[in-house]
Amino acid sequence: MPMSDSGTPVHILGAGPGGLATAAALRERGISSVVLERSDAVGSSWRGHYDRLRLHTTRARSALPGLPLPRAYGRWVARDDVVRYLEQYAAHHRIELATGVEVHRLERADDTEGAPAPAGGARWILHANGGRRLTAPAVVVATGYNHTPYVPSWPGRDDFTGELLHASHYRSPAPYAGRDVLVVGAGNTGAEIAADLAEGGAGRVRLAVRTPPHILRRSTLGWPSQLGAILGRRLPVRLGDGLAAQLVRMSGPDLTRHGLPRPETGLYTRARQGATPVLDVGLVAAVRRGKVEPVAAVESFDGGKVSLVDGETLSPEVVVAATGYRRGLEDLVGHLGVLDSRGLPRAHGRRTHPDAPALYFTGFSNPLSGTLRELSLDAGRIARAVARAAR
């Protein structure tokens, strides 16, 4: 059934896993939708990741609703296979996709002067590139947690005489063979890039760490860390911190004498703050062999030098900023009062903000249990909520 008497479909912003899964879940309920994607293909963010990337979640628990990931992709699915799967998924579910369309602002139709009266409940105006003005009875924002690369405004950064790039522009270690590289940021991306550089022939690799991460094996005796996170996702924070501390001690060696101490804050506490543990795919071995040298956080730049917060000064040829992303939602929906102080949606998944009915958000959390798994669950919940609203 269409969402309105005019047959106007639900509009979904973003053709990544969250947007495609939601479109498929809506189609399963007979609700028409169109996915608007600013690039020229599905899975644009996945296409831009570094070459060696594999999912840290198992194939069995990473598939989207209605189509399993092929067994041939192995237990830990590679980046290129994720992209191939998203293409297959869109075709399998016959998802209507409009590429090259970037929506830069959403407005309630009843708040827009001269707009047509809303039909069948809340109705949205979508302002897109090329002067396009689209209307929709419901909108799902699935533009992604890693939307806009973020590089801190370190003093002297713009005058750095070496090469400075965000991790989103890193592909492989080949261009950095024999060179002195500083990777800034010890999350999963920074840890994996540092290990990739060390294994790929960089002359020297240092990893600037502001807050020591929790480091877990991706799998221990065949038991994936993701499964433990799923089983323990409802534990009280204090109990979760205690159990996770035991797991960390069993899962990997103490790297304190190598310059990477165990964190003082519990894993579950850090997760509540938005930080996820590092799932080791080479960092521990590289640190133990001295191939990756942990150093203090970056304080400032001065010409070709980088000053650290502990007073040490480095002279790297290349700095890779694995410093995260921003959600980039302020221009799109910031005026609607639906974002918190961190720029994240106040309501997520099937819930909507009281001031913005029929506006849904998916993919703006960083769950321990696995992003693709949670996107899949969110898709079904959003589809049910949209169906209820249509009735």
Set out the domains of the chain in order of their start, with CATH numbers.
10-147+327-390 (3.50.50.60), 151-321 (3.50.50.60)
Closest Cα partner for 228 from 282, 286, 271, 259? 271
> Which structure tokens are listed for 152?
């801190």
DSSP-derived letter for residue 117 is: P
Q: How far apart are the first and last CA of the chain?
A: 10
- How many other C-beta atoms lie within 10 A of the C-beta of residue 354? 10
Q: Using an 8 Å Cβ cutoff, are 156 and 300 in contact?
A: yes
Report how far apart, in Å, the C-alpha atoms of 55 and of each of 248, 312, 328, 351, 374 are. 20, 35, 24, 28, 14
- Backbone φ and ψ for 334, nearest 5 degrees, come out as -60, -30
Residue 131 CB burial class (10 angstroms; 0-12, 13-18, ≥19): exposed
Does the reported pTM lie above 0.95? no
The DSSP symbol for 317 reads S
Phi-psi region of 89 (alpha: psi -120 to 50; beta: other; left: phi over 0): alpha
Instruction: Confirm if 304 and 315 have CB atoms less than 8 A apart.
Output: yes
For 197, phi and psi rounded to 5 degrees? Answer: -65, -45
- From first to last of the 391 residues of the chain, give the pLDDT tens digit: 334 444 679 999 999 999 999 999 999 999 999 999 999 999 999 999 999 999 989 999 999 999 999 999 999 999 999 999 999 999 999 999 999 999 999 999 876 555 444 444 448 999 999 999 999 999 999 998 888 999 999 999 999 999 999 999 999 999 999 999 999 999 999 999 999 999 999 999 999 999 999 888 877 666 667 666 666 667 787 877 787 777 777 767 889 999 999 888 887 787 777 778 888 899 999 999 999 999 999 999 999 999 999 999 999 999 999 999 999 999 999 999 999 998 999 999 999 999 999 999 999 987 777 889 999 999 999 999 999 987 7
